[in-house]
Structure 1
Amino acid sequence: MLRQLDASKESSTLPTVCEGARMDTKDHPVIVVLGDQRQLVVPIFQRQYAWGEERLKAFWEDVVAKAEETTEGKPKFNHYMGALILAPGSDGFTIGATPLVQVIDGQQRLTTFQIFLAALREVGNRLNVPDVGNLVLPYLYMPKMEGDTSPKKHRLVPTAEDRAVFHLIIDSGLAGVRKQHPKLFFQNGKLIRGSAPVAVRAFWYFIEQIERYARLGLVDEEQDGNGGTDEDAGAQGLRLHALLKAMLHHLKLVVITLSEDDDAQVIFETLNSKAEPLLAMDLVRNNIFHRAAAQGEQVEELFDKKWRPFDKNSTFWKADSPRAKPKRPRIDHFLSHALTAQTGQETSLRELYSEYRAFTRPGGKPRFQTVEAELDALVEFASIYETLEAGGADADLTWIGRKLAIWEVSTAYPLIFRIANSSAPDQEKKALYRLVYSYLVRRALCGLTPKNLNKTFARLTAEMLSHGVSLETFKGAFANQTGNAVRFPTDTELEEAVRTKAVYTMFNRKDRLADVLWDLEMATRTKFSVDTPRPDNMSVEHVMPQTWATRWPLPDGRLAPGDKVTGADQKMLEDIRARDGLVHTLGNLTLITVPGNTAASNSGFVDKKPWLLKSLLALNLEVTSGDAWTHTSITDRSTDLAKRAATVWPAP
């Protein structure tokens, strides 16, 4: 656990500029910037704090990525957060007074750092990890000068418009904000985001994210498709310390310290010009062809043969990947996947250029004899990636691409790259794609976390690199994997989950549940079934509705009270609990068109049957074959679907 965070271990202070010196540029971790002996003052002419949720989310993901790496050992690379421009304070230097430095550019980042630290302290106190708050304090407040009896000074003094609310957050936390500004909160204590100042919204956002991460080890809601449980206090404390260490030690800034003679405004405008920002792949391209020219290789020929396809289809490659996280252009995601496919090691998208340089020179020695060979290794997966993202002539590759899109699991791409690019027979490739998808579905139905999929697929890629692409390699990779975070659920476990688990509530993405039901629909069809393609407007339908009490009699013929409690005897309460335990299981779920779902609604079974029949689905023909839909009907269908499931989603 992190016990000491000392800026002196990194550097004693930020570079200072003596009279007559010129602009000084160095990179520093955040701990040095916030541990400096000078107070950071934002000039009055700077704009107010303005980071919205999109920027905050990107920052949060950067911190969590480093925190996750920190818990596994020292991160390979530090993450750069941009530039910070400092200028000498206007008050000069006075003995016994706190020296000042002006923040010409970078105040948005600095303000975010401070709000994040305040939120970390807030969550630490909530979760009874107070030492986190103690470690945070030196980076929120200036150290007292000897003999100074004045109130403690803040590390950062923002613009006048932001100052009051910002210092309220730093000094008094959420309780202080709520006490001074009660109208910013609903009666249930939640923040009214639309009326709250931007800094308060940022504070609230970080508190929510940090607490959720500390309790559950989860980064965002999309990552947790099957729910989660609180971890013990020790694990929560470790996560909070990891977040603090990640932000202070592994986020860096390029600090530009100006002299008295430097024109701060000119430098500010130059660094903040409207030029289109470079992508990581742009840096890689420049690096590659610069080295090719230096080594005497045919640069123009290499560019035309190897690189021009990226430029010709720039609309595709430079568009943000719609299903991958974080939000970045496809070409950057492709490079990350390609590096993992080549090495079998996870690749950090946030340090992609550094990752690429490390890939080309492992251990300081060139991996490739020529730049052309390096380019071949880079671009050999390009057409596979295009097919996964947009479809193509390879039907099996297109199929797995669409499945992975529904589940938003692009972390499987490196493994798919290796399989698709191998010499394995087409049937074996198809079987491997099916196993990859089966792994996702089985784990979801069994309620197992999707959190470590990136590590699992990187490990499988490494296995394929070491032992060759085959079903035997895939099987061997799971032979001794018994932990809940990685294992491939057995047939017995899958069948039990289909029979008993409330999958409707487990899946927070109903389009994925609809995809599961469609797979079962295809497995249910026979040569006599109508061979209709999957419609676009299908909805997951409860055969026995969620609000069944007033229209669907219990097994003894009685109707339950509306609240399922009032006037119910012991036998009725038992029947109600049994029914509620069945309603969300797979045996009570089917597919129906959206208009059909609306029309059928909470109708009784007799009224609902015609709408189910109109769908022409084999699943619904099974459901409507009887005259009633009872507890026994649901359990019998669950048993049938459970037997089918092991074939639909096979094990290795």
Structure 2
Amino acid sequence: MDAKDHPVISVLGDQRRFVVPIYQRQYSWREKRLEPFWEDVVAKADEALDGKPKFSHYMGALILAPGGDGFTIGATPRVQVVDGQQRLTTFQLFLAALREVGEELGVPGLRDAIANYLFVRPMSGDTDPDARFKLVPTPEDRAVFHLIIEGGLAAVRAKHPHMFFQNGKVIQRWAPLSVIALAFFAERIRTYVRSGLQDVDEDASAPTDEGANAPLRRLNALLEALLNHLKLVVITLAENDDAQVIFETLNSQAEPLLAMDLVRNNIFHRASGQGESAEALFETKWRPFDAPFWKADAPRAKPRRPRIDHFLSHALTAQTGEETSLRELYAEYRAFARPKGKPRFATVEAELEALTTFAPIYQTLEEEKGNDEALARLGVKLNVWEVSTAYPLVFKIATSAASPTIKAELYGLIYSYLVRRAICGLTPKNLNKTFARLVSVMLADGVSVETFARAFASQSGDAVRFPNDVELRAAVQRKPVYLLFPRKDRLADILWELECASRTKYSVSTPRPLYMSIEHIMPRSWTAHWPLPDGRLAPPDKLTGVDEAMAGAIAARDALIHTLGNLTLVTMPANAAASNSAVEAKKQWLAQSLLALNLAIVGQPNWDEIAIQARGAALADLAVGVWPAPPAVQPIS
């Protein structure tokens, strides 16, 4: 038996045919397996777009046995796939989907490049009708799978129209899993390519794909990721090896090792080798990580992994200022502990101390409670906004020598950054890169508000900049924030902070109720009870009998309906009761809420466009104080 690791390009680029034995199961990967596979490929593609990935990602084992039918002169060599046929099949389906999208976009040369990994060149001694296919699946899968490899979804639809809706979508009830997987990958690839074009449109200065080259670059990055940066451990059996025993051993039901398990083993192995007491270090430094808290999945982080894996990733970024790949966490840690082959720390004890110092900070952020009130409050906000990518920056700030006042101010600026960008409609993508960059700057220049401010002073691109007060004021007054926030709990968080800022010493300081609903003061369906400024009621469809003046008034009103000036918080029963009522009926419910936001509305004689604009301006004044911008400083040269 021979076992070696190989990139996918070496496996599929080999001039051999992979035959799945008849006794193996059919292709069985559904979306719950396809999605993680896609995420693995995209992670490497993104790294490839930014430069060469640091590590390859291992996709598991591939067990191959001799072909079983002897050697035929002049025929393409054959091997049996004892285990790993699901992965091999998925690789080929992904390549077929990549070819499909490439042809839709008219990308030259991609079809021929991919063909090398889907087909073999039949030799004179090949008599098998399927001799040109690289992979021969089980008989149940073979016909449709080879149809996919030959002609994609179009070929399948032409021969099996019952598997498709009239709009071309796959009917999952009738289509085999290979067809469903092909459609899944094709749709994901299209979205990935489109996102590259959107990045260009949003910010020409951002380090993303450029113009017409964006689709080609992204498609090539996906191909490079699959072929060059995914690896398999290929186990080649000899004639006398028992394939079934090896198969069962590798597929035992033992609980899989976490990345942190591998890290732990590596750490204590080195401790023993350096003459340090592994047992003492385990008891004093590591034992807390065995608690259930650390083994539970991080509830708001992606991908879904145990907290301890996410913690380790954040801890590495906090110490290096470099992004850490969660998928290659063990390799990342080894590279961190021994950069360029030399130990980073003098002792393993010092290495563990550097790691464990972040543990209480992580627990405070995750559990939203602890002795540090400012840190716990930030944990609440980061969990609402699901931005655990800020944790490395928080780690760096929390463990610094900065005063509690400075730390609290920096925590507030992190929260402000998230809220300002969201209200201004700026992309939440690339936050991981932004926060890693901030860590790097603070590692170099120290932890301070000035360092934080300088890190943003020269950043003008939409993908990263910190919106200023002028932009925030304009967004509060004009942006349809209700439509910008798919997650309404985040909009409710914004409104509650504005509620707290609206209170005076005479206000009732009630804590935030558990269940609050966002209410449009002037309802979205306003035509029945809310006259236009000239006193006329608009028709329900806003079209029938509408003259030019009314059309302009309708458009002006609709532009304000979803702005913050027209939004407030009420209890859920009040929301249902108020519904599309006239203004006087709504005021009764708003008055009963006892919220400062709503009492100000009740005091208005009318609620119209002028009132909405005035309230929007007032909320904008509050917003620049609730979510401050960094102080003005000179950019880092």
How far is the alpha carbon of 1:457 from its aligned partner? Answer: 0.4
Question: Structure 2 vs 1, CA of residues 194 and 581 (structure 1 numbering), >3 Å: closer, same or farther?
Answer: farther
- 1:415-434 to 2 correspondences below 5 Å: 415-434=393-412
Q: Secondary structure of 1:85's match?
A: strand
What is residue 159 of structure 2 aligned with on the other side? 180
CA distance in 1: counterparts of 2:76 and 2:69, whole angstroms: 10
What is residue 320 of structure 1 aligned with on the other side? 297
1:248-293 CA-partner distances (Å, limit 9, x unpaired): 1000000001111010000000000011100111001111111111
CA distance in 1: counterparts of 2:130 and 2:17, whole angstroms: 14
TM-score (norm 2): 0.94
What is residue 383 of structure 1 aligned with on the other side? 360
What is residue 52 of structure 2 aligned with on the other side? 74
Deviates further, 230-239 or 553-562 = 230-239
TM-score (norm 1): 0.92
How far is the alpha carbon of 1:172 from its aligned partner? Answer: 2.5
What is residue 412 of structure 1 aligned with on the other side? 390
How far is the alpha carbon of 1:187 from its aligned partner? Answer: 4.2
Q: Tell me, yes or no, if the aligned pair for 1:40 and 1:101 is still in contact at 8 Å.
A: yes
What is residue 301 of structure 1 aligned with on the other side? 280
Q: Tell me, yes or no, if the aligned pair for 2:476 and 2:620 is still in contact at 8 Å.
A: yes
What is residue 15 of structure 2 aligned with on the other side? 37
Q: Tell me, yes or no, if the aligned pair for 1:609 and 1:624 is still in contact at 8 Å.
A: yes
How far is the alpha carbon of 1:361 from its aligned partner? Answer: 1.0
Deviates further, 422-431 or 602-611 = 602-611
Question: Structure 2 vs 1, CA of residues 530 and 187 (structure 1 numbering), >3 Å: closer, same or farther?
Answer: farther
What is residue 548 of structure 1 aligned with on the other side? 526
CA distance in 2: counterparts of 1:171 and 1:348, whole angstroms: 36
Q: Does residue 120 of structure 2 align to residue 142 of structure 1?
A: yes
Q: Secondary structure of 1:539's match?
A: strand
Q: Tell me, yes or no, if the aligned pair for 1:606 and 1:628 is still in contact at 8 Å.
A: no
CA distance in 2: counterparts of 1:53 and 1:271, whole angstroms: 24
How far is the alpha carbon of 1:133 from its aligned partner? Answer: 2.7
CA distance in 2: counterparts of 1:533 and 1:218, whole angstroms: 45
* 1:216 aligned residue (178, 183, 195): 195
CA distance in 2: counterparts of 1:59 and 1:169, whole angstroms: 19
How far is the alpha carbon of 1:302 from its aligned partner? Answer: 0.8
CA distance in 1: counterparts of 2:332 and 2:277, whole angstroms: 26
Q: Secondary structure of 1:254's match?
A: strand
CA distance in 1: counterparts of 2:504 and 2:110, whole angstroms: 62
- 1:209-608 to 2 correspondences below 5 Å: 209-217=188-196, 232-311=211-290, 313=291, 315-390=292-367, 391-608=369-586
What is residue 56 of structure 1 aligned with on the other side? 34
Q: Does residue 615 of structure 2 align to residue 637 of structure 1?
A: yes
CA distance in 1: counterparts of 2:607 and 2:168, whole angstroms: 44
How far is the alpha carbon of 1:569 from its aligned partner? Answer: 1.3
How far is the alpha carbon of 1:169 from its aligned partner? Answer: 2.3
CA distance in 2: counterparts of 1:180 and 1:528, whole angstroms: 75
The amino acid across from 1:52 in the alignment is R
CA distance in 1: counterparts of 2:254 and 2:456, whole angstroms: 49
Q: Secondary structure of 2:80's match?
A: strand
How far is the alpha carbon of 1:204 from its aligned partner? Answer: 1.9
Q: Tell me, yes or no, if the aligned pair for 1:215 and 1:231 is still in contact at 8 Å.
A: no
The amino acid across from 2:48 in the alignment is T
Q: Secondary structure of 1:83's match?
A: strand
Question: Structure 2 vs 1, CA of residues 179 and 555 (structure 1 numbering), >3 Å: closer, same or farther?
Answer: farther
How far is the alpha carbon of 1:217 from its aligned partner? Answer: 3.4
Aligned positions, number: 619
Q: Tell me, yes or no, if the aligned pair for 1:67 and 1:246 is still in contact at 8 Å.
A: yes
1:202-253 CA-partner distances (Å, limit 9, x unpaired): 222212211111011399xxxxxxxxx9984321221111011111100000
CA distance in 1: counterparts of 2:166 and 2:541, whole angstroms: 26
Question: Runs of 5+ in structure 1 lacking a partner?
Answer: 1-22, 220-228
The amino acid across from 2:8 in the alignment is V
Q: Tell me, yes or no, if the aligned pair for 1:80 and 1:253 is still in contact at 8 Å.
A: yes
Q: Secondary structure of 2:109's match?
A: helix
Question: Structure 2 vs 1, CA of residues 82 and 553 (structure 1 numbering), >3 Å: closer, same or farther?
Answer: same
The amino acid across from 1:343 in the alignment is T
Q: Tell me, yes or no, if the aligned pair for 2:237 and 2:243 is still in contact at 8 Å.
A: yes
Question: Structure 2 vs 1, CA of residues 362 and 648 (structure 1 numbering), >3 Å: closer, same or farther?
Answer: same
CA distance in 2: counterparts of 1:175 and 1:304, whole angstroms: 61
What is residue 204 of structure 2 aligned with on the other side? none
Q: Secondary structure of 1:424's match?
A: coil
Q: Secondary structure of 1:119's match?
A: helix
What is residue 633 of structure 2 aligned with on the other side? none
1:420-463 CA-partner distances (Å, limit 9, x unpaired): 11121111111000000100111111111111111110111111
CA distance in 1: counterparts of 2:143 and 2:517, whole angstroms: 50
Question: Structure 2 vs 1, CA of residues 565 and 230 (structure 1 numbering), >3 Å: closer, same or farther?
Answer: farther
CA distance in 2: counterparts of 1:546 and 1:180, whole angstroms: 48
Question: Structure 2 vs 1, CA of residues 128 and 307 (structure 1 numbering), >3 Å: closer, same or farther?
Answer: same
How far is the alpha carbon of 1:62 from its aligned partner? Answer: 0.9
Deviates further, 602-611 or 412-421 = 602-611
Q: Secondary structure of 1:40's match?
A: strand
How far is the alpha carbon of 1:179 from its aligned partner? Answer: 3.3
Q: Secondary structure of 1:193's match?
A: coil
How far is the alpha carbon of 1:625 from its aligned partner? Answer: 1.8
CA distance in 1: counterparts of 2:287 and 2:239, whole angstroms: 47
How far is the alpha carbon of 1:554 from its aligned partner? Answer: 1.8
What is residue 4 of structure 2 aligned with on the other side? 26
Q: Tell me, yes or no, if the aligned pair for 1:344 and 1:458 is still in contact at 8 Å.
A: yes
CA distance in 1: counterparts of 2:193 and 2:287, whole angstroms: 46
CA distance in 1: counterparts of 2:98 and 2:275, whole angstroms: 53
CA distance in 1: counterparts of 2:181 and 2:525, whole angstroms: 39
* 1:618 aligned residue (596, 603, 622): 596
* 1:168 aligned residue (121, 142, 147): 147
1:355-393 CA-partner distances (Å, limit 9, x unpaired): 111111112111111111111111110111111101222
How far is the alpha carbon of 1:147 from its aligned partner? Answer: 8.5
Question: Structure 2 vs 1, CA of residues 194 and 436 (structure 1 numbering), >3 Å: closer, same or farther?
Answer: farther
Q: Tell me, yes or no, if the aligned pair for 1:215 and 1:230 is still in contact at 8 Å.
A: no
Question: Structure 2 vs 1, CA of residues 84 and 472 (structure 1 numbering), >3 Å: closer, same or farther?
Answer: same
The amino acid across from 1:514 in the alignment is A
1:532-566 CA-partner distances (Å, limit 9, x unpaired): 11112112221122222333222222222222222
How far is the alpha carbon of 1:309 from its aligned partner? Answer: 0.8
The amino acid across from 2:15 in the alignment is Q
Question: Structure 2 vs 1, CA of residues 326 and 631 (structure 1 numbering), >3 Å: closer, same or farther?
Answer: same
CA distance in 1: counterparts of 2:294 and 2:174, whole angstroms: 39
CA distance in 2: counterparts of 1:218 and 1:206, whole angstroms: 19
How far is the alpha carbon of 1:148 from its aligned partner? Answer: 6.8
Q: Tell me, yes or no, if the aligned pair for 2:75 and 2:124 is still in contact at 8 Å.
A: no
Q: Tell me, yes or no, if the aligned pair for 1:44 and 1:160 is still in contact at 8 Å.
A: yes
What is residue 84 of structure 2 aligned with on the other side? 106
Q: Secondary structure of 1:217's match?
A: helix
The amino acid across from 2:279 in the alignment is E
Q: Tell me, yes or no, if the aligned pair for 2:197 and 2:209 is still in contact at 8 Å.
A: no
The amino acid across from 1:512 in the alignment is R
How far is the alpha carbon of 1:195 from its aligned partner? Answer: 4.4
